[in-house]
Structure 1
Amino acid sequence: MKRKVLSALLAATMVSGLLVGCGSSNTSSSSKSSTGSTTTSTSSDASVTKTDLGEYTEENPYHLVFSYIEFYQQDDAARTAVQDAMNEYMIPKYHIEVELLPMQASEYAQKVQLMISGGDELDVIPIFFSYASSWIAMNGIEDMTPYMDSPEGQAIIDTLGKDNAYVGSMNGILFGFPAQKESVELGGLCMRADICDELGITEEYGLAKNQDEYTGKVYDWSVAGDIFEKVKEAHPEMTPLYMQGSSSQINRLAFFDSLADNFGVLDWEADHDSTTVVNQYETDTYKNAISLLADWYDKGYIYQDALTDQQGSATMMKAGNTFSYMSAIKPGFLVEANASNGTECYAMYFGNNVEGGISTTNVSFYDTGIASNSADPEMAFKFISALYTDPEVMNLWQLGIEGTNYQVLDDGTAYYVDGEDASNFKYHQNTGWFMGNQFNTYVWNDGSRDTNYWEKLQSHNDWAQYSPAFGFMWDSSNYSTQITALQNALSTYRPALETGSVGTAGLEETLQKLNDALYAAGLQDVMDAKQEQLNTWLDENGATKTPQSNLDKIEAAKEANK
């Protein structure tokens, strides 16, 4: 598993044939990437992949270390079997031998950074957006821009769309590709179905079991206040809304383009087209949101221990102590919520607009990139392209071996093999939202999803109106000291403000203390630098435009809601 095939830099030699990585047949053609490296020949007499740094065949494949976060415990032997199955497929087709390197979420950042600085064998890595600037600064990430003119690069663009394909960029460096997933900010309340039925809420608002697909019907948050009033009157022993100080829900009430860290934002709610960086915590948008929470808290609608409570919404719902909580909502949300909460729930969309906002960090959350340690970045890029374009690769990594780890049902969806379930499976990653193209995997049958589920998620994204700064990534590497101080200041005051715990009487004073602490910590310097970087990016790229098809869909919903 440790062999590598390296050579001195090869002279660029054209090799007839299409890339093996594109899964092509023996059709004759030739192409060349902008790096000067040659592509793979797939003709029957010369199955070889040549790059500037190596030459690889089925007998002598490139050894690639693929690191990723393993969010759920897997059986070691089952994972090894999956790795073997991947290589049985990957080696003859791509001339790549994959070594899976799972990491725990708690160790991921430190481990990757240590491996990069130590020069360890490492190729494909997950890049959390907030780590990008520091890892780029330490020359730890490969710039993938030179490979984008290749067939593999074009395949990624065809899969993600051009805007999304380049969203993981900073200062002209393309450091990673986002997962293919739902990204638009749409949300509202998850509510106990039995209480809704009892109080007539179900009938009044047309709620139904497993009805969580967005249709453009959205309610103002004042309507939620009316619902909470009914619940509190009928069930004084039950908290209408559970909130928790350790988890901000401000984007449920008002969307900002956070420009990565919330220290200098675009006030999207006030002006969808604004490119002026402002202090979020001085905007009317923010003040209106926290004022609503403070009013609800005073009326007893919000859990009174929200500031310090650590139980979580699922625990409170199972105990029957709360009626609802705020959440992002998407198709399929309710099945997961029902299982987590131990009770049937309804979903109801709330917000200030029919459309939902979408920003760089909504899409570029975890990105798939290449470590600078890679012995042959072009081969690593070919593997990444396969993660986004080859269903066999993605299904093997995510679901395992068909017939051993999962079965395909008659309706075309997938589920555990007989004798296994969520409590005892041997291999089931279930993290397509994290890296690669989850839309290339089988739809997992959880009781509500059919084979059209991925199309529903893609349609869900069509409700997005883009921030004009979509694609801009703030480089904070020169402001790490200020960012740390700002985070400390925010953590001191944010939980009380964003759970309503300050009450209406203490809101103005606490908000002022927050802003004073932020400016003392260097907020203005950070905002000025962020605005300067954004202006440069806008000069080079122009403001991002929302696809016309999205705008048409949004406008039609607005007309229908009149």
Structure 2
Amino acid sequence: MKRAKKATWLTLIAAMALMTACNSNQATNNTNAAGANNANASTEQTDSAETYEIVFGFPVLGNVPADLAAVEAEISKITKEKINATVKFAAIPIGQWAQQSNLMLTGGEKLDIMLTDFSAYSGMVARKQLLALDDLIEQQGQGIKTALGDKLEAARIDGKIYATPVNQLPLGGSAIYMRKDILDQSGIDASTIKTTDDLDNLFKTVHEKNPDLAVIAPTPTGTMPMTSLVQGLANIDTLTDSLGVLDLSTDSTKVVNLYETQAYVDALKKLRTWYEAGYVPKDAVNTKVNNTDLMKSGKAFSLYDSDGPNKEKTSSASVGMEMVRVSMQQPLVRTQDVLGLDWAIPANNSDNPEKAMEFLNLTYTDADIVNLINFGIEGKHYTKKSDNVIARVANSGYELHQSFMFGDVALTYLEEGQDESTRDAAAFEAISVDSPALGFTANLDAVKTELAAVKNVTAQYVAALETGSVDPDKILPQFNEKLKAAGIDKIIAEKQKQLDAWLAANKK
């Protein structure tokens, strides 16, 4: 498995988040009519002994594989025997996913299972686009319960579960990954780097010796921010969207404006010093190039990414050179870290939710199905090197590099060059901390007008501020003034009300 970096994962989420803004009124208006039609169809299909075709929808990061139908056929051989169903992929290029999936939902087109994410989840529940899964999980999804354990509770909104999180491999916190050859050239021992401030001297030395090299490789807007390198922000639970956060450096559960916290101010000032010193590329705010690609081209010294057990080995394999990892932010497990990517059954688009759940359950329990989805057909699209290690066949017709997306990721094969130790969940859990709001998801439908206005403001300011491209002393006050005018205080008050109720109900 060629594990996607968290930056890639967040790129996917940023693109998928567009769904929450698309035709929400149309979605609501179509709910009742489509629901009535599909309710009758569901009863008919449930009572029928005929083989049911499951439509399984998800975005594709690259080109839709040419051999998709052949893989569907192989999966269907298994599902026909196990659950009397066949499987058809609704695999849609990521650039078209938001529009096409929304058209399927609002138009009542058949769609039995679909991918969503933490940023879209609560909005889709508020618009009644997703089916409550509690009874289905109890009856057809016991394997999901076993795989996810307590993580499943993070998907609960107003007492019900509407999606099942992908069971991700251990990821969290943040780290800086540096080219070992250039680090050795600097003469600085990585073990001496303990804080964000310790990076200053390292960056200065590297820049002086390699003036044409980007000291820090940025990521495209909407992905993992450069503020991930700043330890002062490690105690912030963004409550899924950063529009009203918890500062866990105190014992308070007061929801505050992230952009007014001292930790955020200090982080921006640090990034600004790096930008002015030439460590950050001048076009960082507009970059479309992933940081791993910049590293591969030999044009950067370091990149930032999620932390994880022995993850420098994954990073080294990804960029094609030896990398050294230094942890920066301690892993804080928040609702969005558990939810991340999720699988749901549309409320008005599945003719047989029971069959849909049976197949979804298989993606958390059946390694053959998971690996067919991820890698295709053995002998045609990949070859086995050992029981759990494979090598892809070049230009095979099935190049789907998104095994972070499906069911229980622990069931996926390793690819050549990957290390089993990167899956050591125990090592990760030993250093991670749970947020007191883990499992809380706000329903912001009551402030949807303010939410849209505030998101327009953040789109104008955040990228420039969080790459150091503008002076925070001048721009941050303007940003906060516009946020208040757009209604961020009303969003924060709504979050606070719901969080207080959730904490009381959960006795936290």
Q: For residues 89 and 108 of structure 2, what CA distance do their matches in structure 1 show?
A: 18
2:227 to 250, 265, 268: 250
Residue 187 of structure 2 corresponds to residue 205 of structure 1? no
Identity %: 28
1:449 to 410, 413, 419: 419
Q: For residues 283 and 58 of structure 2, what CA distance do their matches in structure 1 show?
A: 37
Residue by residue, what CA displacement relative to the aligned partner does 1:346-365 show, whole Å, maximum 9, x if unpaired?
A: 222223xxx41111111212
Q: For residues 333 and 158 of structure 2, what CA distance do their matches in structure 1 show?
A: 21
Alpha-carbon distance, 1:266 to partner: 0.8
Q: For residues 402 and 53 of structure 1, what CA distance do their matches in structure 2 show?
A: 33
Unpaired segments of 5 or more residues in structure 2? 1-41
- Give the length in aligned residue pairs: 461
Residue by residue, what CA displacement relative to the aligned partner does 1:226-264 show, whole Å, maximum 9, x if unpaired?
A: 211221333334342233673522233223211121110
Distance 1:448 1:539, change over 3 A: same
Distance 1:88 1:195, change over 3 A: same
Alpha-carbon distance, 1:87 to partner: 1.4
Residue 85 of structure 2 corresponds to residue 96 of structure 1? yes
Amino acid at match of 2:142: Q
Q: Name the counterpart of 1:117.
A: 106
Q: Name the counterpart of 2:161.
A: 174
Do the aligned residues in 2 keep the contact of 1:245 with 1:499 (CA within 8 Å)? Answer: no
Distance 1:240 1:477, change over 3 A: same
SS at match of 2:274: helix
Do the aligned residues in 2 keep the contact of 1:443 with 1:453 (CA within 8 Å)? Answer: no
Do the aligned residues in 1 keep the contact of 2:64 with 2:92 (CA within 8 Å)? Answer: no
SS at match of 2:440: coil
Do the aligned residues in 2 keep the contact of 1:182 with 1:461 (CA within 8 Å)? Answer: no
Q: For residues 179 and 141 of structure 2, what CA distance do their matches in structure 1 show?
A: 46
SS at match of 2:74: helix
1:130 to 100, 114, 119: 119
Q: For residues 429 and 100 of structure 2, what CA distance do their matches in structure 1 show?
A: 34
Residue by residue, what CA displacement relative to the aligned partner does 1:481-532 show, whole Å, maximum 9, x if unpaired?
A: 2122212222322233212233xxx422322111111111101100001111
SS at match of 1:388: coil
> What TM-score does the superposition give when structure 1 sets the normalisation length?
0.76
Q: For residues 278 and 357 of structure 2, what CA distance do their matches in structure 1 show?
A: 54
1:161 to 138, 143, 149: 149
Distance 1:415 1:103, change over 3 A: same
Do the aligned residues in 2 keep the contact of 1:186 with 1:252 (CA within 8 Å)? Answer: no
Find the structure with the greater CA-based Rg.
Answer: 1
Q: For residues 399 and 315 of structure 1, what CA distance do their matches in structure 2 show?
A: 23
Residue 504 of structure 2 corresponds to residue 534 of structure 1? no
Q: Name the counterpart of 1:14.
A: none
Q: Name the counterpart of 2:31.
A: none
Q: For residues 314 and 398 of structure 1, what CA distance do their matches in structure 2 show?
A: 21
Q: Name the counterpart of 1:401.
A: 377
Residue 57 of structure 2 corresponds to residue 67 of structure 1? yes
Residue by residue, what CA displacement relative to the aligned partner does 1:6-41 show, whole Å, maximum 9, x if unpaired?
A: xxxxxxxxxxxxxxxxxxxxxxxxxxxxxxxxxxxx
Q: Name the counterpart of 2:37.
A: none
Q: For residues 541 and 509 of structure 1, what CA distance do their matches in structure 2 show?
A: 42
SS at match of 1:328: strand
Richer in helix (by share): 2
Q: Output aligned runs, 1:192-341, within 5 Å.
A: 192-201=179-188, 204-205=189-190, 219-243=194-218, 246=221, 247=223, 248-253=225-230, 254-255=233-234, 256-268=236-248, 270-271=249-250, 273-314=251-292, 316-318=294-296, 320-331=298-309, 333-334=311-312, 337-338=315-316, 341=319
Amino acid at match of 1:375: D
Amino acid at match of 2:229: R
Q: For residues 195 and 284 of structure 1, what CA distance do their matches in structure 2 show?
A: 34
SS at match of 1:140: coil
Q: For residues 193 and 253 of structure 2, what CA distance do their matches in structure 1 show?
A: 26
Alpha-carbon distance, 1:193 to partner: 2.1
Distance 1:64 1:241, change over 3 A: closer
Do the aligned residues in 2 keep the contact of 1:188 with 1:328 (CA within 8 Å)? Answer: yes
SS at match of 2:418: coil
Residue 411 of structure 2 corresponds to residue 440 of structure 1? yes
Alpha-carbon distance, 1:466 to partner: 1.0
Q: For residues 181 and 244 of structure 1, what CA distance do their matches in structure 2 show?
A: 22
Do the aligned residues in 1 keep the contact of 2:175 with 2:229 (CA within 8 Å)? Answer: yes
Residue by residue, what CA displacement relative to the aligned partner does 1:18-73 show, whole Å, maximum 9, x if unpaired?
A: xxxxxxxxxxxxxxxxxxxxxxxxxxxxxxxx98962455xx22221111222233
Q: Output aligned runs, 1:142-157, within 5 Å.
A: 142-150=131-139, 152-157=140-145
Alpha-carbon distance, 1:114 to partner: 1.5
Q: For residues 213 and 202 of structure 2, what CA distance do their matches in structure 1 show?
A: 13
Alpha-carbon distance, 1:369 to partner: 0.8
> What TM-score does the superposition give when structure 2 sets the normalisation length?
0.83
Residue by residue, what CA displacement relative to the aligned partner does 1:443-493 show, whole Å, maximum 9, x if unpaired?
A: 222x1324x553x25643443211111111121223232122212222322
Q: Name the counterpart of 1:516.
A: 481
Distance 1:290 1:124, change over 3 A: same
2:440 to 444, 447, 472: 472
SS at match of 1:326: strand
2:345 to 370, 374, 382: 370
Alpha-carbon distance, 1:140 to partner: 1.7
Q: For residues 61 and 299 of structure 2, what CA distance do their matches in structure 1 show?
A: 29
My pick for the range that moved more, 112-121 or 342-351, is 342-351
Q: Name the counterpart of 1:87.
A: 76
Residue by residue, what CA displacement relative to the aligned partner does 1:374-395 show, whole Å, maximum 9, x if unpaired?
A: 1121221111111111222212
Do the aligned residues in 2 keep the contact of 1:267 with 1:285 (CA within 8 Å)? Answer: no
Distance 1:411 1:381, change over 3 A: closer
SS at match of 1:409: strand
2:46 to 36, 54, 60: 54
Q: Name the counterpart of 2:39.
A: none
Q: For residues 242 and 314 of structure 1, what CA distance do their matches in structure 2 show?
A: 8
Do the aligned residues in 1 keep the contact of 2:58 with 2:90 (CA within 8 Å)? Answer: yes
Q: For residues 86 and 320 of structure 1, what CA distance do their matches in structure 2 show?
A: 41
Amino acid at match of 2:464: A
2:468 to 487, 493, 500: 500
Amino acid at match of 2:239: L
Residue 323 of structure 2 corresponds to residue 345 of structure 1? yes
SS at match of 1:221: coil
Alpha-carbon distance, 1:439 to partner: 0.7
Distance 1:245 1:84, change over 3 A: closer
Distance 1:495 1:134, change over 3 A: closer
Q: For residues 203 and 218 of structure 2, what CA distance do their matches in structure 1 show?
A: 14
Q: For residues 440 and 211 of structure 2, what CA distance do their matches in structure 1 show?
A: 48
Amino acid at match of 1:469: A
Unpaired segments of 5 or more residues in structure 1? 1-49, 207-216, 544-562
Do the aligned residues in 2 keep the contact of 1:242 with 1:313 (CA within 8 Å)? Answer: yes
Q: Name the counterpart of 1:431.
A: 402
Amino acid at match of 1:249: M
Q: For residues 218 and 63 of structure 1, what CA distance do their matches in structure 2 show?
A: 55
CA root-mean-square deviation: 2.6
Distance 1:192 1:540, change over 3 A: same
